[in-house]
Amino acid sequence: MPTKDAKPVGSVLDRIARMQKASAERSNSTETKPAATEQDQPEKPPASMRKVPKNDSQADFFVPTLYDVGTRDSRGIMDVAVFRLSKKDRRENAVIRYELPDGHVEVSSGVYGMASVWDYDIVLMAISHLTESMNRFREGKGEKPGQVFRPHVADVIKFCRRENGGRQKDAIIPALQRLSTTHVELERTKKVKGNKMVTINEGESLIGPFKTITNTATQKVELVEIRVADWMYREVTEGKNPDVLTVHPDYFLIDPGIGRFLYRLARRAAGRSFATWGFRLLYERSGSTGTSKEFARALRSITKADDLPEYTLSIEEGVEGPMLKMTHRDYIPAITPPSDSDQDDKPDE
């Protein structure tokens, strides 16, 4: 069975090309627009999206649809941050624990530090290629893909829409070290046969073993070999209805970690409609080490910029504090037809 939102590869590539062209046009229009004076308009909040990299053309590079795995054993992995959202705080030997109604999710790091949401881009690339290959296999157009992913480093940088420079290549090995030593443990309680309640604990790192090949002369990494985590591989290849969601390619251009966390949450919870989350719960699910006030300030700034791909953000007042509403930009609310009582209330003509 094809994965959720799966489309023919040709139409997907056309869609990605259109999205990237639109991104470039938005970036160019921003650069060519004359500077406005303070009298012309109020001060704008910081943009959430970075500029499209100069090497963003994909003419000679196969780009699969961007996918992410949504659940692990019926629990929404995209509902919590299984990585750090800060670029500065490495969080070596740290633990993030998320309490959930039927158990918890615990993320722990080692001496290399906790994997970041930007490190996770490599996982997204592996899942995307795996999903495209599995879709072709289900259509009888290829062999079942294996669990090991072997990309060229230049392809990783291009897929993740980063500038192609030496610093990006130097960052590959530390990112893989963090991904392979960031452990995600899940505990959940569920009912089995005979109305017996059991508690299940299981855990795995964000990626399995990895290997890199470095050019001795240049001291730059050229090839990477990654084993996709067992649970991700099973979800994509063995699930009857794999919970694999398409992700907008401009996701890679979202600069703040909180912005990326909000997009992932919206993609799963809102889909093509809307979802509302309280500021307090968002703070608890983000794993942020900052204060709740700092987190709320960042939420308001991102909401004011309102430039995340696919979703528009707004703030509403709730019973227990402010609420963030995430609405798909193409969502059209259903129009409720008038009831019979409404017709009866009309005055006689």
| Total Cβ atoms within 10 A of residue 284 | 15
Report if residue 213 sits inside a domain. Answer: yes
Query: What average pLDDT does this structure show over 82-103?
Result: 92
Q: How far apart are CA 218 and CA 151, in angstroms?
A: 19
Q: How far apart are CA 255 and CA 160, in angstroms?
A: 13
The verdict on 106 and 164 lying in the same domain is yes
Report if residue 29 sits inside a domain. Answer: no
Backbone angles phi, psi at 94, to 5 degrees: -110, 165
Report if residue 341 sits inside a domain. Answer: no
The verdict on 5 and 138 lying in the same domain is yes
What are the tens digits of pLDDT across the range 167-218? Answer: 888 899 999 999 999 999 999 888 888 889 999 898 999 999 999 999 999 8
The verdict on 247 and 176 lying in the same domain is yes
Residue type present at position 268: R
Report if residue 223 sits inside a domain. Answer: yes
Angle between helices 121-138 and 230-238 (to 10 degrees): 30
Reference 256, options 293, 288, 291, 292; nearest CA is 288
The verdict on 151 and 16 lying in the same domain is yes
Structure tokens at 306: 């309102």
The verdict on 121 and 207 lying in the same domain is yes
Structure tokens at 32: 């060519």
> Is pLDDT of 33 > 50?
no
CATH number for the domain harbouring residue 275 = 1.10.10
> In sequence order, what E strands does 172-330 have?
183-192, 196-205, 207-215, 220-228, 244-246, 274-278, 311-318, 321-328
Q: Where in the sequence is the domain holding 282, given as residue range(s)? A: 256-333
Structure tokens at 181: 């030593």
The verdict on 237 and 321 lying in the same domain is no
Q: How far apart are CA 56 and CA 75, in angstroms?
A: 35
Confidence bin at 20 (pLDDT 50/70/90): low
Report if residue 340 sits inside a domain. Answer: no
The number of folded domains in the chain is 2
Sign of the torsion formed by the C-alpha atoms of 148, 152, 154 and 159: negative
Range with the lowest mean pLDDT among 25-29, 115-119, 246-250, 272-276?
25-29
Residue type present at position 152: H
Q: How far apart are CA 77 and CA 73, in angstroms?
A: 9
At 114 the three-state DSSP class reads coil
Domain end (from 197, 220, 252): 252
Confidence bin at 25 (pLDDT 50/70/90): low
Domain end (from 233, 252, 271): 252
The verdict on 275 and 215 lying in the same domain is no
Q: How far apart are CA 134 and CA 231, in angstroms?
A: 15
Sign of the torsion formed by the C-alpha atoms of 11, 16, 19 and 20: negative
Q: How far apart are CA 292 and CA 258, in angstroms?
A: 13
Query: What average pLDDT does this structure show over 216-229?
Result: 94
The verdict on 143 and 13 lying in the same domain is yes
Report pTM. Answer: 0.81
Report if residue 231 sits inside a domain. Answer: yes
What average pLDDT is seen over the chain?
Answer: 84
Most confident of 15-19, 169-173, 200-204, 293-297: 293-297
For the chain, the straight-line distance linking the first and the last C-alpha, in angstroms and rounded, comes to 58
* pLDDT value at residue 86: 93
The verdict on 206 and 322 lying in the same domain is no
Domain end (from 228, 252, 276): 252
The verdict on 185 and 168 lying in the same domain is yes
Confidence bin at 95 (pLDDT 50/70/90): very high
Sign of the torsion formed by the C-alpha atoms of 220, 226, 229 and 235: positive
Report if residue 116 sits inside a domain. Answer: yes
* pLDDT value at residue 300: 97
Q: How far apart are CA 228 and CA 225, in angstroms?
A: 10
The verdict on 226 and 109 lying in the same domain is yes
Q: How far apart are CA 85 and CA 286, in angstroms?
A: 8
The verdict on 84 and 144 lying in the same domain is yes
Strand partners, 296: none
Sequence-separated (6 or more) residues with CB below 8 Å from residue 312: 306, 326, 327, 329
> Is pLDDT of 28 > 60?
no
* pLDDT value at residue 168: 84
Report if residue 35 sits inside a domain. Answer: no
